[in-house]
Structure 1
Amino acid sequence: MLLAVLLGGAALAGSGFGRAGILFAMAGALAVIGYAYWNGDRLALQAMRARPASEQEVPQLYRIVRELSADARWPMPSIYLSPTDAPNAFAVGRTRRNAAVCCTDGILQILDERELRGVIAHELSHIYNRDALISSTIGALAGVVLFALNLAWQTPAGRSDDEGGSTMLGSLLVILLGGPLAAALIRLAVSRSCEYRADAMGASLTGDPLALASALRKLEKGTRLLPLPPEPRLRVRGHMMAAAPFRSDTLVSRLFATHAPMRKRIERLERMADHHAAP
C-alpha cells in the first residue's frame, strides 16, 4: 500500500508535464524504490559502520544466534558488529536467507548472556516477520528524500550571493521539508505493534520474557547516557534499533519517534512471564 501511494504521488507530481511527465516520474520512482529494496540492508550497515564479525571474535554471540535459529528452525543470519559505544542492535535482510543481525560494541558490554539472548531473539523475530525488510527499505527511501533535498539546495539555482545565507536556507529547507517527509515515510511503514509482536515472539522463543525485560531496562538507560548522534544517515534508521537510539528531549527524536514506550513493552513482558508462571 505504501509503495502504491509513492507511485501515485510520483504520477501526480509528473501530471503537470503531460503523459511524458507521468511516465518519467513513475520510472524515477520505481528506480528509487528498486534501489532502496536492493540496497536498504547494505546502507543501514554502512550507516552504523558495521563489519562482519568472526566466530573467534564473538563466540558467545555466534552460539546464541546459532542456538536460537536452530530452535526456531530458521536460517542463521550473518553477524555484524558496529564500533559504537551506544548500546543497541538491529536486523536487516531482504529475505530470511540473506539476513543479518548487527550488535554494537556497547550492547555487548552491558548485557549478560541471558539478556543478550532475549535481544537476539527479538531481532530474529523481526527478520522472520519481514519487519527487517520493510524497515531497511523505508529507511533507504527516507534517506533518498533527505539526500535529494540536500542536493536541490546545493545547486546553483538555489544559491544566494551570501554563502552563509545559502547554508542557512538549505538547512532550513531540509528541516522543514526533508525531516517531516522522511519521518512520515517511516511512520507510515513502521507500526509500534511490530515491536510488541517481536517482543512476544522473541520471549516465546527463549521461554524467558523477563530476560528481555531486563535487557530493555538496561538499553533504555544506556541509550539515554550514550545516544547516537542525530546525523541524517542515522536519523532515518533509528526505527530499526531495538531501543530508541536518540535523546528523547530533542525535536529530531520526537519527529522520528516510532518505538513503543519502553515502559509498556516491559509491562507486557512481565505480564507474559506471570501468565507462563501461573499453574
Structure 2
Amino acid sequence: MFNAFRTTVLLAALTAIFMAVGYFIGGTGGMMIAFGVALVTNLIGYWNSDQLVLRMQNAQPVERSRVPELYDMVDTLSKRAGIPTPAVYVIETDQPNAFATGRDPNHAAVAVSTGLLRSLETREIAGVIAHELAHIRNRDTLTMTITATFAGAIGMLAQFGFFFGGGNNRNNPLGPFGGILMLILAPMAAALVQMAVSRTREYEADRDGAEISGDPLALASALGKIAASAGHTVNVAAERSPAMAHMYIINPLSGRAMDNLFSTHPDTANRINALRQLAAEMSVDDKGRRPQPRPTPQNAAPVSGGGWRVPTVGRTDEDGGQRGPWG
C-alpha cells in the first residue's frame, strides 16, 4: 500500500514538473501539450518502460543453457524471497554492476553485467542478486523504472523547447530567459526527485537482500568492489542514458561516494557499515556461516560450515575464489 502511494505521489510530482516545463516553453498551450505527453508517458512507463530500459542499457536476454549456474542462483534466491523467478539479462560491459526492472514481481527482470560475473566471487554475486530481488519484492522497480522514463523525457522536452524556439516564444512568461532556465532547471528538478527516492530504497534493499541471501558481509564486499571499479570503468550505455543511473546497485556514472542531496545513491561506506551491523545482529561471519548447535541425542551431527549455499558459478581460481562464467 505504501509503495502504491509513493508511486502515485512520484507520478504526480513528475507530471507537475513536466507541465511546468511546458508552461515556461509555450505558456498555457504548452502546459496542456505537456500534460498530454505526461499522460502518454505514464501509460508507457507502467506497461512498457521495463523493456525500454533494458534496450537502452543494451541488456540481452540469456538462455538457461548459456549460464545455468546464474539461472539456478536467481531461481533459488527468488524462492527464498517468495517471488516468481524473474527473467535474466546480461549487459556486455566491463563495469561490474546490476539492476532490476519491471512493474511487479510477475513482470520483472534482473540484469547483471559481464564485468560483475567476471570479477565477483559466488557469494558476492548472490548478494547482489538478492539485493535486486528485494527491489522486485518491495515493488521498488516500478518507481525506479517510471522515474527513469520521466526524468529522461523531461530533459528531452526542455532541450526541445530551447532549441526549437521555446526560449523566444511570446507566450513564455519569462521571455528568452524562460527556455534557458528550463533547460537548466527541469532536468535538475527531475533528478532531485529520483535522487530522493533512490537513497532510502537502497538502504532498504541492502537489508532485505542480506536477509534473503543470509550473508550480509558478502553483499558488503560486493558493494565495495563495484564502487571501486565503477569510478574508472566506463559503462557506455549508462553514460548515454544518465537518467537511468539510479536503477543500478552502484552509481554507474561516477562511482563517487556522496551521501547528500545530489547523489543518486547513498554513500557506499555507510551502506557497508549498515550491513556489517546487520551481520553482527544475525551472528553471521565473513564466510556466511552461523554458529552451529552442539549435537545432542535428538540432534543430527552438526553440519560443516553454515550460512547460505549457492550453485557454483564459473571456475575456481587458485586462491579458492569462485568466479563468474565469463571469467
- Whether TM-score is above 0.5 comes out as yes
Match for residue 262 of structure 1? 268
1:46 pairs with one of 26, 38, 55: 55
5+ residue gaps, structure 1, are 160-171
RMSD across aligned C-alpha pairs, in angstroms?
3.3
1:236 paired with 2:248, answer: no
Q: Deviation at 1:72?
A: 2.5
Deviations 1:217-237 (A, max 9, x none): 111111122143596642101
* Displacement after TM superposition at 1:182 (Å): 3.1
Aligned partner of 2:139: which letter?
R
Q: Which amino acid aligns with 1:201?
A: D
Please give the secondary structure, in 1, of the residue aligned with 2:112: strand
Q: 1:186 to 1:11 in 2, by over 3 A?
A: closer
1:277 to 283, 299, 321: 283
Determine the structure 1 residue equivalent to 2:223. Answer: 216
How many residue pairs align between the two structures?
265
Higher-Rg member (1/2): 2
Question: Residue 166 of structure 1 corresponds to which residue in structure 2?
Answer: none
Structure with the higher fraction of residues in helix conformation: 1
**1-10 or 213-222, which deviates more:** 1-10
Question: Contact (CA 8 Å) 1:183, 1:236: kept in 2 or not?
Answer: yes
Give TM-score scaled by structure 2 length: 0.71
- Residue deviations 1:183-210 (CA, integer Å, cap 9, x gap): 123235x241211111111111111111
1:81 aligns with 90
Q: Give how far 1:271 is off.
A: 0.9
User: CA separation of 1:45/1:138 partners in 2, compared to 1, >3 Å: closer, same or farther?
Assistant: same
Give 3-state SS (helix, strand or coil) of 1:101's partner: strand
> Contact 1:111/1:215 (CA < 8 Å) preserved in 2?
yes
Given the alignment of the two structures, is residue 185 of structure 1 paired with residue 193 of structure 2, yes or no? yes
Task: Give the alignment partner of residue 103 of structure 1, picking from 101, 107, 112.
Answer: 112
Q: Is the 8 A contact 1:239 1:257 kept in 2?
A: no
Alignment pair present for 1:207 and 2:214: yes
State the 1:158 CA deviation.
6.8
SS in 2 for 1:214: helix
- Is 2:216–2:276's contact at 8 Å kept on the other side of the alignment? yes
Deviations along 1:58-107, one digit per CA (max 9) or x if unpaired, are 11210110101122221000000111111100000011111000001111
Once the two structures are superposed, what CA deviation does each residue of 1:117-170 show, in whole Å capped at 9, x if it has no partner?
Answer: 0000000000111111100111000111122233334437779xxxxxxxxxxx
For residues 193 and 68 of structure 2, the distance between their equivalents in structure 1, rounded to whole angstroms, comes to 38
Give the alignment's TM-score, normalised by structure 1: 0.82
Percent identity of equivalent pairs: 38
Separation in structure 1 between the aligned mates of residue 127 and residue 156 of structure 2, nearest angstrom: 36
Q: Take 1:255 and 1:233, find their aligned partners in 2: how far apart are those partners? A: 22
